[in-house]
């Protein structure tokens, strides 16, 4: 019988049947889609379940996108615990790899190391079942670490010679080659070009960079080569009135497919032009977003920079690789505020170091301006990380270029950095004088200078920073009245310019004053609205400081459960950001809270960690505060000699710095001293104090006892501190 007779027989057989008919991998049989349409029309009780890399284009078709198997997310916080086998049991990608690995290497144990490698393999192949099976099959002859390295370097590491696997499924390259061969020339060109994007792309980006249209992208999505990202969540957010959500169609490539497409792009004569358009497009996009930071649309701008950060990284990479320092500096200048505010300071410094190292000797004013801005941005990022020496050098180079360009020299920034450095080492009088100079210099310079609207915004932001920095130093010196006056002046400026983020930062400064004074109600009054802005804007470092203050407010009110929850989040956040100087402050708060909860061992651990960080990174005041916290732990355990030695060293340092004990902490210091004096008696107390007061601050850490000394109250125990021979 001929083919039509077979079709007729099949239809006759199915006409009265109630059945589910499963057809797998139908993409290579698309010419038979008409038969499926006939079955649906003539056999009403038959349901077809069809898997295909390309849609059938039938009217009755219901589409369900099938992604890879579930795998552990790649962006795990640094503070997250190491995953255990039980934690990964719900990830089907890991389950499949472990199952297939056991088939080929049943005697190899699944250790923590092999588990971590398994997770990375599943992440790299985006949970693709075939890729996972091919990787596991290779274990027969290749160690798992080598498999991971192979699949990261090229697609050819994912292959098998098993006879019962169809040829088109024996390697990932064969799978992708098969799909490639089914594409038209225009589809091949587009598929190759979109590999230039990282982390997905919008339709408008594809139009500008590759010349794509929405129908063309949809056609590739229908062939399962690109993924259309779900906008359901965004639509729901818009319906709830959440700002910054967008429903613009967005597409992405899984990493294995992107690697294949990149190979094809590399063989295309248009590759460099595509990369150049990509870099220029995302530089312009970043600049447009940066311009929105001083407007009510700031949160939408931040959301865009966050969403397109991988594409902007790719553009920076292209600029560095091609020596296009002008474009690179323009993009870095547009991103440096984002880097600074959202925990990418180290990455930003790395990019700027590469760009500054390109050694562009151009004397063109545009190029010089771009380089000057790069130096300025790099200097601030270095200063924020307490690398004051590098920051000073970069600020000075920036000022030299400013003079060459006929601009104001930017001395205010240099003075702020110098004041930060002075504060970090405890030279508060010098820090105050430098910031007073910065304030005076800023006001006199701007009184003489005519500024554009953009320049005025930057000037106001710089003035606000000077006011906040000076208020911080004065607060730590105990001059609360003037600190409040400066912060209130800054608050008025920020509100007048409708700068919500600067308003929130200034309110955080006001909450710092209230915290030091022990005024829990005022802490919440100033801190809660600022925390809301920080969370809305995802300013992680600022969230951490706000949580620290609110934890101390709860501690002051006796709500230790709430206090611990807040400070635990703060410590974890600073750890994830690798903001160790900030983490030291949060650890001191944690030590206070867990000590109040009765856990002297945990308090001692938190405070000694804070002390180590503060001794390494500063500021010096944090070292002193950690010592005072440790004295409270020692007092709880009745280690009287240790209490006196810690507080004597701390008090001597405070006198040298000119920094007073916070009123909120004075009660705890007095209580520790009273306990020590009652145990030692006046004469022994005075002798111990006099001897310890002359000890170098840096010597204290090595002389502290182990945590076991604080497990239970015991008899008096002194520190054994030896003076330096010098």
Q: Which of 116-125, 472-481, 530-539 has the lowest mean pLDDT?
A: 116-125
Q: Whose structure tokens read 């004013």?
A: 365
End-of-domain residue from the set 155, 174, 193: 174
Most confident among 255-264, 316-325, 457-466 (mean pLDDT): 316-325
End-of-domain residue from the set 145, 174, 203: 174
Cα→Cα distances 430→370, 420, 424, 464, 641, Å = 33, 10, 11, 20, 34
The answer to whether position 474 is within a domain reads no
The answer to whether position 574 is within a domain reads yes
Helix, strand, or coil (residue 121) = helix
Secondary structure tally for the chain: helices H, strands E: 33, 5
In a shared domain, residues 530 and 641? yes
* Cα-to-chain-centroid distance, residue 600: 33
Rounded Cα distance, 106 and 377, in Å: 55
Helix, strand, or coil (residue 411) = helix
In a shared domain, residues 149 and 218? no
The domain that holds 264 is classified in CATH as: 1.10.10
Proportion of the chain above pLDDT 70, given as a percent: 86
Helices (H), 154-270: 172-181, 185-193, 203-210, 214-222, 232-239, 255-266
pLDDT confidence of 154, banded at 50, 70, 90? low
Indicate the number of domains in the chain: 4
What is the model's pLDDT at position 236?
A: 47
Cα→Cα distances 160→135, 142, 557, Å = 9, 12, 66
Most confident among 245-249, 444-448, 641-645 (mean pLDDT): 641-645
Instruction: Quick: pLDDT tens for 655-682.
Output: 999 899 999 999 999 999 999 999 999 9
Does residue 419 surpass a pLDDT of 80?
A: yes
What is the model's pLDDT at position 28?
A: 76
The answer to whether position 296 is within a domain reads no
Enter the tokens of residue 23: 């057809």
The answer to whether position 659 is within a domain reads yes
In a shared domain, residues 163 and 237? no
Instruction: Quick: pLDDT tens for 225-250.
Output: 898 886 554 544 444 444 445 667 89
Tell me the mean pLDDT in the region 397-406. Answer: 88
Cα→Cα distances 305→205, 285, 297, 335, 341, Å = 14, 9, 13, 8, 12
Higher pLDDT, residue 549 or 639: 549
In a shared domain, residues 167 and 197? no
In a shared domain, residues 165 and 188? no
Measured in degrees and rounded to the nearest 5, phi and psi for residue 219 equal -65, -40
* Cα-to-chain-centroid distance, residue 149: 26
Give the largest CA-CA distance in the chain: 116
Measured in degrees and rounded to the nearest 5, phi and psi for residue 498 equal 55, 40
Please confirm whether the linkage preceding 667 is cis (ω < 30° from 0): no
The answer to whether position 242 is within a domain reads yes
The domain that holds 652 is classified in CATH as: 1.25.40.10
Does residue 3 surpass a pLDDT of 80?
A: no
In a shared domain, residues 143 and 187? no
What is the model's pLDDT at position 237?
A: 45
Instruction: Quick: pLDDT tens for 689-705.
Output: 998 888 887 777 666 77
pLDDT confidence of 142, banded at 50, 70, 90? confident
In a shared domain, residues 578 and 691? yes
Does residue 606 surpass a pLDDT of 50?
A: yes
Proportion of the chain above pLDDT 90, given as a percent: 52
In a shared domain, residues 677 and 531? yes
Length of the chain in terms of residues written:
726
End-of-domain residue from the set 269, 290, 306: 269
Q: Are 610 and 626 in contact (CB under 8 A)?
A: yes
Enclosing domain of residue 20: 3-50
The answer to whether position 374 is within a domain reads no
In a shared domain, residues 589 and 693? yes
What is the model's pLDDT at position 210?
A: 96
Please confirm whether the linkage preceding 543 is cis (ω < 30° from 0): no
In a shared domain, residues 587 and 690? yes
The mean of the pLDDT values for the chain is 85
The answer to whether position 428 is within a domain reads no
Beta bridge partners of 48: 21
In a shared domain, residues 251 and 162? no
Rounded Cα distance, 544 and 572, in Å: 9
Q: What is the pTM of this model?
A: 0.78
Higher pLDDT, residue 579 or 559: 559
Ramachandran sector of residue 698 (left: φ over 0; alpha: ψ -120 to 50; beta: rest): alpha
Rounded Cα distance, 377 and 459, in Å: 15
Instruction: Quick: pLDDT tens for 23-48.
Output: 987 877 888 888 899 999 999 999 99
What is the model's pLDDT at position 60?
A: 85
The answer to whether position 417 is within a domain reads no
Q: Which of 343, 350, 336 is nearest to 293 (CA)?
A: 336
In a shared domain, residues 19 and 114? no
Pairing of strands 19-23, 250-252: unpaired
């Amino acid at each position: 019988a001929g083919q039509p007779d077979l079709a007729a027989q099949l239809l006759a057989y199915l006409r009265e049947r109630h059945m589910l008919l499963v057809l797998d991998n139908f993409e290579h049989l698309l010419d038979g889609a008409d038969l499926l349409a006939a079955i649906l029309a003539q056999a009403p009780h038959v349901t077809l379940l069809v898997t295909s890399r390309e849609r059938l284009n039938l009217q009755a078709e219901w589409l369900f996108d099938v992604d890879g198997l579930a795998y552990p997310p790649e962006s795990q916080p640094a503070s997250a615990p190491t995953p255990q086998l039980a934690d990964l049991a719900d990830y089907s990608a890991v389950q499949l790899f472990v199952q297939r690995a056991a088939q080929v290497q049943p005697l190899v144990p699944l250790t923590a190391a092999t588990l971590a490698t398994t997770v990375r393999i599943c992440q790299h192949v985006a949970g693709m079942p075939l890729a996972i099976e091919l990787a596991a099959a290779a274990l027969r002859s290749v160690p798992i670490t080598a498999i991971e390295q192979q699949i990261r370097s090229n697609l050819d590491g994912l292959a098998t010679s098993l006879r019962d696997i169809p040829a088109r499924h024996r390697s990932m390259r064969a799978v992708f080659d098969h799909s490639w061969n089914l594409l038209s020339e225009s589809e091949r060109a587009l598929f190759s070009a979109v590999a230039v994007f990282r982390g997905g792309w919008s339709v408008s980006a594809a139009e500008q960079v590759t010349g794509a249209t929405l129908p063309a992208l949809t056609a590739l999505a229908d062939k399962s080569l690109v993924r259309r990202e779900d906008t359901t969540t965004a639509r729901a957010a818009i319906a709830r009135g959440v700002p910054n959500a967008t429903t613009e169609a967005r597409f992405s490539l899984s990493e294995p497919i992107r690697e294949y497409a990149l190979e094809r792009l590399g063989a295309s004569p248009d590759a460099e032009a595509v990369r150049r358009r990509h870099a220029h497009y995302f530089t312009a996009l970043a600049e447009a977003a940066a311009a929105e930071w001083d407007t009510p649309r700031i949160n939408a701008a931040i959301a865009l920079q966050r969403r397109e950060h991988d594409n902007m990284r790719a553009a920076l990479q292209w600029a560095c690789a091609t020596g296009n320092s002008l474009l690179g500096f323009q993009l870095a200048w547009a991103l440096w505020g984002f880097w600074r505010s959202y925990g990418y300071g180290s990455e930003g410094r790395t990019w700027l170091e590469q760009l500054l190292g390109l050694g562009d000797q151009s004397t063109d004013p545009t190029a010089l301006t771009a380089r000057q801005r790069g130096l300025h941005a790099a200097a601030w990022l270095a200063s924020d990380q307490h690398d004051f020496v590098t920051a000073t050098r970069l600020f000075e180079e920036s000022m030299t270029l400013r003079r060459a360009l006929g601009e104001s020299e930017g001395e205010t920034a240099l003075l702020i950095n110098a004041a930060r450095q002075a504060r970090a080492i405890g030279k508060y009088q010098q820090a105050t004088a430098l910031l007073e100079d910065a304030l005076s210099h800023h006001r006199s310079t701007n009184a003489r200078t005519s500024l554009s609207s953009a320049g005025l915004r930057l000037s106001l932001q710089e003035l606000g920073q000077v006011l906040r920095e000076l208020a911080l130093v004065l607060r730590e010196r105990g001059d609360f009245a003037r600190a409040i006056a400066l912060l209130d002046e800054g608050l008025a400026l920020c509100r007048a310019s409708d700068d919500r983020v600067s308003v929130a930062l200034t309110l955080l400064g006001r909450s710092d004053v209230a915290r030091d004074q022990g005024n829990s109600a005022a802490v919440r009054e100033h801190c809660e609205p600022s925390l809301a802005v920080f969370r809305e804007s995802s300013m992680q470092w600022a969230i951490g400081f706000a949580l620290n203050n609110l934890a101390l407010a709860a501690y002051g009110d006796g709500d230790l459960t709430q206090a611990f929850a807040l400070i635990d989040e703060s410590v974890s956040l600073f750890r994830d950001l690798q903001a160790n100087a900030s983490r030291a402050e949060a650890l001191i708060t944690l030590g206070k809270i867990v000590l109040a909860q009765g856990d002297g061992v945990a308090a001692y651990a938190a405070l000694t960690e804070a002390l180590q960080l503060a001794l390494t990174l500063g500021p010096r005041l944090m070292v002193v505060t950690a010592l005072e916290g440790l004295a409270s732990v020692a007092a709880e355990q009745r280690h009287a000699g240790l209490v006196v030695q810690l507080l004597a060293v701390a008090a001597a340092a405070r006198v040298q710095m000119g920094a007073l004990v916070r009123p909120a902490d004075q009660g705890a210091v007095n209580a520790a001293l009273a306990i020590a004096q009652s145990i030692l008696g006046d004469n022994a107390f005075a002798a111990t104090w006099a001897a310890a007061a002359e000890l170098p601050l840096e010597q204290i850490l090595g002389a502290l006892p182990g945590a076991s000394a604080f497990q239970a109250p015991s008899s008096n125990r002194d520190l054994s501190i030896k003076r330096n021979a010098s």
